[in-house]
Amino acid sequence: MTAYPECALAREAEICFANIAMPTDTDVYGLKPVTAEQVVKSMKQNIDNVNKLLFSVIPRVPKERACECKDALKTAQM
Ligand SMILES: [Zn+2]
């Protein structure tokens, strides 16, 4: 539900990390409760969207990392 502890573990392992959120029900903020059918419909749409996103983004990931992730432990404090 959150990105923890995955984000901390990725940082510790010096792995680049990005989180993709797939909300399925927003009834907390809505006027009426969300049904199970609406949640399933949202999840199916989310899966389609994530597939499109990943097929678009993955080819653009550089083969050589220029970000600070690979050296995260050099500046880590204990
Ligand atoms: Zn990175």
Q: pLDDT tens for the chain, 78 residues: list them.
A: 678 899 999 999 999 999 998 888 776 666 778 888 988 999 999 999 999 999 999 999 999 999 999 999 998 887
Ligand 1 centroid vs 25 CA: distance in angstroms? 31
Q: Is residue 78 situated within a structural domain? A: no
Structure confidence at residue 3 (pLDDT): 82
What's the number of domains the chain is made of? 1
Ligand 1 centroid vs 49 CA: distance in angstroms? 23
Q: Is residue 1 situated within a structural domain? A: no
Structure confidence at residue 25 (pLDDT): 78
pTM beyond 0.85: the answer is no
Quote the DSSP letter at residue 6.
Answer: H
Residue 54: which domain range?
6-73
Ligand 1 centroid vs 70 CA: distance in angstroms? 7
Cα–Cα distance list, 44 to 20, 32, 38, 40 (Å): 15, 21, 10, 6
Annotated catalytic residues are 25, 27
Ligand 1 centroid vs 68 CA: distance in angstroms? 6
Q: Which residues surround ligand 1, an ion (CB under 5 A)?
A: 16, 67, 69
